[in-house]
Amino acid sequence: MRLYNTLTRTKEEFRPMEEGKVRMYACGPTVYNYFHLGNARPFVTFDTLRRYFEYRGYDVTFVQNFTDIDDKMINRANEEGITVKELADRFIAEYYVDADGLNCKRPHIQPRATETIDAIIDMIKAMEANGYTYVIDGDGVYFDVTKKKDYGKLSHYNLEDLQAGGGERKANYEGKKNPGDFAVWKFKKEGEPFWESPWGDGRPGWHIECSAMNKKYLGDTIDIHCGGKDLIFPHHENEIAQSEAANGCPFCNYWVHNAFVNVDGEKMSKSLGNFFTIRDITEHFPYAVIRFFILSGHYRKPINFSDKDLTASQTGLDRIVTCYKNLKFVLANKGAEGNSDSGNADLEKAVSEAHDSFIAHMDDDLNTADAITDIFNLVKSINTSVAEKNATGEALNNAKSMLEELSGVLGIDLDYSEDKIPQEITDLVEERTAAKKNKDYARADEIRDILKAKGYSVKDTPNGPQIEKL
């Protein structure tokens, strides 16, 4: 598999540190609100990357954190008159509602920053011992970016370019050695949670949290670090600086970043007031459609959000789901005699080609957009075989299995819109079938009208009656 590595700006063959195993970290949410579509893109993208590695036989350890202590958390908790932990507990629970709805597999480990304080302090001690930190009285412990000679290697900025950015204080902040220096430990302020440390009571800086959680759960060097493009600088740049300063070895071999979500051509952001939470969007579109929309574009290219684009995604997903539903119906209702086998070779070829092309596209930098096209091509062949009744049950079952397999890799829920047919409706359909068999067509028509009034239609097919919700 080849992945685009932000560190080298090239597409590289993925070679894990340990054969057959992948150590993978993705930045998770700051849990002070519901997450929005811009957050959902990396969650879905890197869930899919994890799924694909597992599909190809890798033993994956996937860690995704919760940032449960920072300025946003403190400010909102104070506004609501609750503790930061109460706020975090609430929105972690809400995160799972949306992440589960998007069919994101639970990461193997989802640590909270507040549960990693000991590891954070140990890492700051190591950086201090290696000469990378200094203390500003009354403020905190800071990382000196000039001590890290290759600082900027991920973002490809140099220190001169960063004079106005990268720090958590203004460039002229008194006591700061360099404008880009950043806090790894912030001394406590009135009304803020705090922990004891060798430098004084306080709380961790944002960047150190991920460095410490990486080290604690995955080791000094990891295979893959994922996140949104907006995190390249300063967050990921600072993670590298801290981790390598503390551990004395390379931090991460492959950096994988997804592009932005745009709304009418502009980046989705709170400052522009054009962001939408996933919870908002689900009032109009199912979770499965949102996931399909995200995967319909290549992860390194911006995607544009609009009702029109989501409606198009729903149409595409429904095309796959309808094929699957019809295929299951045909297989459940085929007679013992089966269909002809004149189309078996064509269907078997379509199954094989879909599988091979899907692998090729996913191996090429997680090209989910073209992988979905491979699924559509398989759907077209299945629909042809079902319509022409020219394939045996065995061939159709093989096609069904492949459709499930490839869809599963992408986390596509093939049953997302399938409503359970009430027993009352199936009983009426069975009564109608018996009435037609007995040539009681008046009763059969009466039952059809009853079904319609209850919101269902029934279609007679060579394989038996097919029930549809109106």
Segment 13-23 shows an average pLDDT of 98
CA distances to 352, 367, 373 from 360, rounded to whole Å, are 12, 9, 12
pTM of the model: 0.89
Is it the case that residue 264 has pLDDT exceeding 90? no
Residue 421 CA to residue 329 CA, distance in Å, equals 13
Q: Select from 218, 213, 219 the least CA-distant residue to 62.
A: 218
Segment 284-300 shows an average pLDDT of 97
The predicted pLDDT at position 337 comes to 41
Is it the case that residue 184 has pLDDT exceeding 60? yes
Is it the case that residue 169 has pLDDT exceeding 60? no
Which tens digits make up the pLDDT trace of 396-426? 999 999 999 999 999 999 998 755 667 788 7
In this structure, of 13-17, 93-97, 387-391, 395-399, the range with the lowest mean pLDDT score is 387-391
Structure tokens at 29: 């949410």
* Beta bridge mates, 457: 468
Structure tokens at 15: 């070679």
pLDDT grade for 463, boundaries at 50, 70 and 90: low
Give the class (CATH, top level) of 305-410.
mainly alpha
In this structure, of 48-52, 109-113, 378-382, 417-421, the range with the lowest mean pLDDT score is 417-421
Looking at this protein, which amino acid is placed at residue 204? P
Percent composition of the chain: helix, strand, coil (DSSP 3-state, to 5): 50, 15, 35
The predicted pLDDT at position 161 comes to 67
The predicted pLDDT at position 274 comes to 79
CB-count burial class (<10 Å; 0-12, 13-18, 19+) for 213: buried
Which tens digits make up the pLDDT trace of 142-159? 999 999 999 999 999 887
Instruction: Tell me if 25 sits within 8 A of 222, measured CB to CB.
Output: yes
Which helix (DSSP H) or strand (DSSP E) does residue 368 occupy? Answer: helix 368-388
Average pLDDT score, the chain: 92
pLDDT grade for 46, boundaries at 50, 70 and 90: very high
- Give the HSE-up count for residue 7: Cα atoms under 13 Å, Cβ half-sphere: 18
CA distances to 257, 350, 421 from 358, rounded to whole Å, are 22, 12, 34
Which tens digits make up the pLDDT trace of 298-317? 999 999 999 999 999 999 99
Residue 67 CA to residue 32 CA, distance in Å, equals 9
CB-count burial class (<10 Å; 0-12, 13-18, 19+) for 466: middle
Give the class (CATH, top level) of 2-125+209-258.
alpha beta
166-180, 306-320, 454-468 — most confident range: 306-320
Instruction: Tell me if 196 sits within 8 A of 1, measured CB to CB.
Output: no
The predicted pLDDT at position 412 comes to 98
Instruction: Tell me if 238 sits within 8 A of 144, measured CB to CB.
Output: no
Give the contacts of 429 (CB within 8 A, at least 6 positions apart).
Answer: 447, 451, 458, 465, 467
Segment 375-390 shows an average pLDDT of 95
Q: Select from 331, 348, 357 the least CA-distant residue to 398.
A: 348
- Pick 83 or 468 by higher pLDDT: 83
Structure tokens at 120: 């954070």
The predicted pLDDT at position 164 comes to 52
The predicted pLDDT at position 335 comes to 46
